[in-house]
């Protein structure tokens, strides 16, 4: 058992420093990508407030395929360029969506989701997966969340 905890009153930069430290401790000595993604999804869901879904989509055979996550069962395959995740994977750029209902092509896996943050994981210059966070609160994510999850993506790029 790993008991990571963060004070919900922490400012976001401090929260993400805690998250990165815990993520590093959890994954540093483990080479199994599925185990690492599973623990990272659990860690995100536990430490980042106000989420209804947190997890991974992996680039497999030219499309995104669902990876380890916490939340409701989700869409299994997403074409590159489709939805928020497919756009992040196709462009290699983070997608920060304040209102998913206003995002053309948004794929609704959980009707509770109102805002979304998707960060590509890049290894050797190529996108290999994305980290997807969904929140039931509109405009839940900001530049601090983006910076924190982008730092996480860089940290774990060789471990997932």
Work out whether 89 is an interface residue with ligand SME (CB under 6 A).
no
Nearest to 114 by CA among 93, 140, 92: 140
DSSP string across 52-94 = SEEEEEEEETTEEEEEEEEES---SEEETTSHHHHHHHHH-S-
Residue 113: CB minimum distance to ligand SME, A: 6
Three-state DSSP class for 115? strand
CA angle 157, 113, 72 (to 5 degrees): 70
Cβ-proximal residue to ligand SME, closest one: 83
* Interface of this chain with ligand SME, residues 91 to 130, rule: CB under 6 A: 106-107, 109, 113, 116
Quickly count: other Cβ atoms within 10 Å of residue 27's Cβ: 22
Contacts of 90 (CB under 8 A, 6+ apart): 80, 81
Is residue 47 near ligand SME by the rule CB under 6 A?
A: no
Interface with ligand SME, residue 70, by CB under 6 A: no
C-beta closer to ligand SME: residue 86 or 148: 86
The residue with tokens 């997807």 is 132
Our CB check for ligand SME shows the closer of 16 and 69 to be: 69
Those residues whose C-beta lies under 8 Å from the C-beta of residue 33, and which sit 6 or more positions away, are 159, 160
Applying CB under 6 A, among 51, 84, 152, 153 the residue interacting with ligand SME is 84
Interacting span for ligand SME (CB under 6 A) from 19-27, 41-49, 72-80, 148-156: 72-80
Stretch that binds ligand SME, among 14-22, 25-33, 82-90, 144-152 (CB under 6 A): 82-90
**Chain positions contacting ligand SME, by CB under 6 A:** 53, 74-75, 78, 83-86, 106-107, 109, 113, 116, 132, 134
């Amino acid at each position: 058992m790993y008991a990571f905890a963060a004070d919900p009153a922490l400012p976001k930069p401090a929260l993400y420093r805690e998250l990165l430290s815990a993520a590093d401790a959890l994954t540093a000595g483990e080479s199994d990508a599925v185990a690492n993604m599973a623990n990272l999804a659990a860690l995100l869901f536990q430490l980042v407030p106000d989420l209804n879904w947190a997890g991974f989509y992996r680039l497999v055979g030219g499309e995104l395929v669902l990876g380890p996550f916490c939340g409701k069962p989700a869409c299994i395959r997403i074409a590159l360029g489709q939805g928020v995740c497919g756009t992040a994977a196709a462009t290699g750029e983070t997608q920060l969506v304040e209102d998913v209902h206003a995002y053309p092509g948004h794929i609704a896996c959980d009707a509770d989701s109102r805002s979304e943050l998707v960060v590509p994981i890049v290894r050797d210059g190529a996108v290999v997966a994305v980290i997807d966070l969904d929140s039931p609160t509109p405009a839940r994510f900001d530049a601090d969340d983006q910076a924190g999850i982008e730092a996480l993506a860089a940290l774990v790029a060789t471990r997932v």
